[in-house]
Structure 1
Amino acid sequence: MLSTSCSKFVDGYEVSPNNPVKATGPLVLSSAELGLMSVYAGTPARTAGVLTQQLGGTADQMLAIDMYDIKEGDATNDWNNIYNNVIQPCNDIVAQYSEGNPHNKAMALVIKAMGLGVATDMWGDVPGQEGGMGNINGNFSPKYDAQKDIYAQIQSLLDEAIGLLKTAGSDVREVGANDLFFKGDLAKWLNTAYLLKARYAIHLTKKNANDAATKALDALSNVTNVGDLRATYGESYNENNQWFQFSQGRATLLRMGENLINMMKASNDPRLSVYAAVAPGGGYVGAAPGSENQNASELGTYMAGQTSPITLAGYVEALFIKAEANLILGKTQEAADAYNTAVLTHVQNATGSPAPAAFVTAYASETAASITKEKIMNQKYVALFAQIEAYTDWRRTGFPTLTPNPHNVLNKPAIPRRLPTDQNERLYNKNAVVTSDILKPVWWDE
């Protein structure tokens, strides 16, 4: 009798709540969010920055990218990060932790859409419906979906997320602090989902410009300045900004790019002093493609400060999309207004001060008669410094005008327009669609 009573008394208490034997949806969400941060502030962003000449690769693997010496094994870690640390945990949430947790599921769908977006924009055709499902259904050879279909999947994921975010009531297990981006703030997640719908709509301007613009503006009608999706960092070493950590551990590899530095110097851009550090010889100096100029300026505190936040999707981007979309549809005054607001907002965000009067007059006072696509995209290029979107924008619009590295290993006057298929996919996935030509445009860039 005593034995039975004791057994009932301790039933359930032998399991420590601080040492769970099974993950929860919110815990898995944290993992996926960390994976997304490392993608958007990691090698894909550095690659995009070098190829668009915002940055200069000056040694080792960054110099190889600068020289267009990009091989199929170079981005294996990034491919694995996207599918193993972003898409796979999001699939886990959908498969195992969705019941009673619609908001947690919605956040996972948004994150998955962003991870899938980077994969397809950098590689073209990629695993979509079957990607990241190996630990769930045992399929470790996922079929590749055409990029056109991947884009439809992204929009579908975002639509489903929006519907779930609008679901009344609370989750069985609230996300709260496990949501590293918004601490469970549904309004901010909803805002981000609509912004992403606009982002992926405007990417398709080469396919159908009017349709892309119309869909982008429709999504943007739901976007406000309620809060950007940002990666935030702490003061402990393992919590530091990723660009800062890269500069500390691999200081010789990367410098500011000559094209961006010269553009900002020519316009007396007030953001230059936070974008770039003063060069060893004084002033702000950019590394020309292939120059290996390690006396050029290092990244400044805006992107590479020890605790500087990094925007993954934000209101300034939304304003530039709004400007471009309105211009495509012939609404030039609306385009000018959105453009002016975008430039002024970003200067304030980056420097902490309003733009100087002379800069406002020269670069943020466009009218219906003066606004152009080149002006919009050039200023978006500056504002989206070291972001993957700048590489996507350059490929689909041709702005800013870039001169290929004349010393590149391809011996062709062209800048790479994609990454080659990952070598592990070629070797071990029988369903892989293999593309080795890095000058071949992805579907939306054709």
Structure 2
Amino acid sequence: MQFKTSYLLLVFGLLLLVSCQDYDEFQNDPNRTTQANPGLLLTNIEVSTLNSIDLNASMASRHLVNVNLVEDSQYYGWDRASFGFYNTLRQVKKMEEEAVNFQNQNFTAIARFFEAFIYEQITRQFGDIPQSEAMLAESGNFQPVYDPQEQVYLRIFELLEEANSLLEVTGPAINGDVVFNNDLLKWKKFINSFHLRVLMSLSVREDDPNLNLPSRFNTIYSNAGVYPIMESTDDNAFYSYSEETGNVYPFWRNASITTSYILEETFVERLKTFSDPRLFEMASPDSNSSDDDPLSFDSYSGLLGSAPLNANVARLTSGEGSSLNSRYVEDAEAEVNLSLGFAELNFILAEAAHRNWIPADADGFYEAGIRASMDYYDIDANLVDNYLAQPIITYQTSTGLEQILTQKHTAMFLNSGWEPFYDNRRTGFPEFNVDGGGIINEEGVPKRWMYPFSEINQNVDNLQQAIQRQFPLGDNVNAVMWSIQN
């Protein structure tokens, strides 16, 4: 009996000892890592965030027309969008946490950049958005307040300043980088060039003393040692496609692309008027053309983006309408996915000079932007010189803003995402035709997207406050957000 009692006491003691151990010790598998290399997150963040090939954007921006469906993006019939970018922002925050664990400040810098990039994407769609309380779900805040758009942009400026100052060109390497392959100087140029894009996107508010846009812009432009920016097309921000890696161009072997999408008429007619050789790289001759001379501008035509679907189908049946160049579906590496390029930067600088934000001549940047865009298509240098020599192309101060934005629009064909649409919303250039009889929105080109249904279900009080603060007539696509109010 004494032996049994001693045995039971021993077993009880062992159980008590085990029960006193931290419960978390039993949750951690010693054979599994509890940390993730930030490079594993970076690749997906880059590919998902910087994807700039968007057919909806191309239709809304009057580059392409769909002849199979009545697309909301083409006929401006959209209403709500989602807050999907916040999911990517969670990955960015996780990458920033892991950057601290790995003691790699350059990952922290890039995380700050992507945070700024994503917030800009979201606020341009809606207006006021959750920002200061957006990433506090882990602490129990599932109903974040909406920050006024001006405060959102001021925070974006701060994030971009932090990204530039934190990034050490000679510092620790980053892995998983499919954009610049660990070229940290190119990253720094990208960050600051993007900063200039954001500043110019707010040009309507150039007199706002809180934003101080001209001064901010000139500070970056005039201090290359602190704020390096893109210097050539070699600095373009893009990622490549390849059949070997299985990451192929999105339209590759998709025959429906060349049968469903036709170049938009006003876009094609402009290229023909300008004798623009880029047309031959973008499009195929229409069905009425002669096979004898595919490089004749007479062989190309477009369909009107604002015309009813049946009217465009009838014109297509009669032989009108140039489809996309066959290379887009036949070549797995047809083009790179260009997010922000040297051409765009030059047009931004040209506009800044035109607006007297920087002490420079707009015509030099205007020409450099055209040359960089031609280089993107590998256009022969003699053809480029001939193009620039045309009086209709020569920069004129009186029409300078329209010329800059029109050339910028051409340079952004099937790249740069929604930038050409937002440029038109901001400046009115180039003009988007809405008189064809098929436009769904009674007021023409919408100014924004309505807030997502998920916010009505989950965060309605804060949502309603934001709507009332911005839009007295309610949440609708024609409401004018703060950033584009005159």
Contact 2:41 2:95 in 1 (8 A): yes
Aligned partner of residue 65 in structure 2, secondary structure: strand
Write out aligned runs for 1:353-392 (5 A).
353-354=380-381, 355-362=383-390, 366=394, 372-386=400-414, 387-392=417-422
Q: 2:241 aligns with which of 224, 233, 236?
A: 233
Contact 1:416 1:439 in 2 (8 A): yes
Shift in Å, 1:37? 3.3
* Aligned counterparts of 2:338 and 2:96: Cα–Cα separation in 1: 26
Q: In 2 relative to 1, CA 237–185 (structure 1 residues): closer, same or farther, beyond 3 Å?
A: closer
* Aligned counterparts of 1:445 and 1:337: Cα–Cα separation in 2: 28
Where does the alignment leave 5 or more consecutive residues of structure 2 unmatched? 1-28, 223-227, 290-298, 468-473
- The C-alpha deviation readout for 1:301-320, integer Å capped at 9, x for no partner, is 78775321021012111111
| 2:424 equivalent to 1:394 | yes
What's the counterpart of residue 113 of structure 2?
Answer: 110
Q: In 2 relative to 1, CA 425–251 (structure 1 residues): closer, same or farther, beyond 3 Å?
A: farther
- The C-alpha deviation readout for 1:154-173, integer Å capped at 9, x for no partner, is 11111111111137532xxx
Q: In 2 relative to 1, CA 237–399 (structure 1 residues): closer, same or farther, beyond 3 Å?
A: same
* Aligned counterparts of 2:193 and 2:128: Cα–Cα separation in 1: 23
Shift in Å, 1:14? 8.3
What's the counterpart of residue 220 of structure 1?
Answer: 221
- The C-alpha deviation readout for 1:277-317, integer Å capped at 9, x for no partner, is 33344332322123433633333378775321021012111
Q: What TM-score comes out, normalization by structure 2 length?
A: 0.77
Q: 2:434 aligns with which of 398, 404, 408?
A: 404
| 2:67 equivalent to 1:58 | yes
Q: In 2 relative to 1, CA 255–83 (structure 1 residues): closer, same or farther, beyond 3 Å?
A: farther
Q: In 2 relative to 1, CA 123–47 (structure 1 residues): closer, same or farther, beyond 3 Å?
A: farther
Shift in Å, 1:246? 9.6
| 2:40 equivalent to 1:27 | yes
What's the counterpart of residue 293 of structure 2?
Answer: none
Contact 1:316 1:342 in 2 (8 A): yes
Q: 2:203 aligns with which of 190, 201, 205?
A: 205
Q: 2:300 aligns with which of 284, 304, 322?
A: 284
- The C-alpha deviation readout for 1:130-166, integer Å capped at 9, x for no partner, is 33554x4454433222221121121111111111113
| 2:323 equivalent to 1:298 | yes
* Identical columns (%): 22
What's the counterpart of residue 187 of structure 2?
Answer: 189
What's the counterpart of residue 25 of structure 2?
Answer: none
Aligned partner of residue 56 in structure 1, secondary structure: strand
- The C-alpha deviation readout for 1:231-268, integer Å capped at 9, x for no partner, is 321216951223x1595566655332112111111111
Q: In 2 relative to 1, CA 217–50 (structure 1 residues): closer, same or farther, beyond 3 Å?
A: farther
Structure 1's consecutive aligned runs of 4 or more residues displaced over 6 angstroms after TM superposition are 301-304, 330-333
Q: In 2 relative to 1, CA 167–379 (structure 1 residues): closer, same or farther, beyond 3 Å?
A: closer
Aligned partner of residue 126 in structure 1, secondary structure: coil
What's the counterpart of residue 84 of structure 1?
Answer: 87
What's the counterpart of residue 311 of structure 1?
Answer: 338
Q: In 2 relative to 1, CA 371–302 (structure 1 residues): closer, same or farther, beyond 3 Å?
A: farther
Q: In 2 relative to 1, CA 437–279 (structure 1 residues): closer, same or farther, beyond 3 Å?
A: same
RMSD: 3.1
Contact 2:249 2:332 in 1 (8 A): yes
Aligned partner of residue 145 in structure 1, secondary structure: coil
Aligned partner of residue 97 in structure 1, secondary structure: helix
Where does the alignment leave 5 or more consecutive residues of structure 1 unmatched? 1-12
Shift in Å, 1:412? 2.3
Report the more deviating stretch, 221-230 or 102-111: 221-230
Aligned partner of residue 311 in structure 1, secondary structure: strand
What's the counterpart of residue 255 of structure 1?
Answer: 262
Shift in Å, 1:322? 0.8
| 2:383 equivalent to 1:346 | no
What's the counterpart of residue 11 of structure 2?
Answer: none
Q: In 2 relative to 1, CA 27–423 (structure 1 residues): closer, same or farther, beyond 3 Å?
A: same
The letter of the residue matching 2:407 is Q
Q: What TM-score comes out, normalization by structure 1 length?
A: 0.83
* Aligned counterparts of 1:330 and 1:111: Cα–Cα separation in 2: 26
Shift in Å, 1:336? 0.8
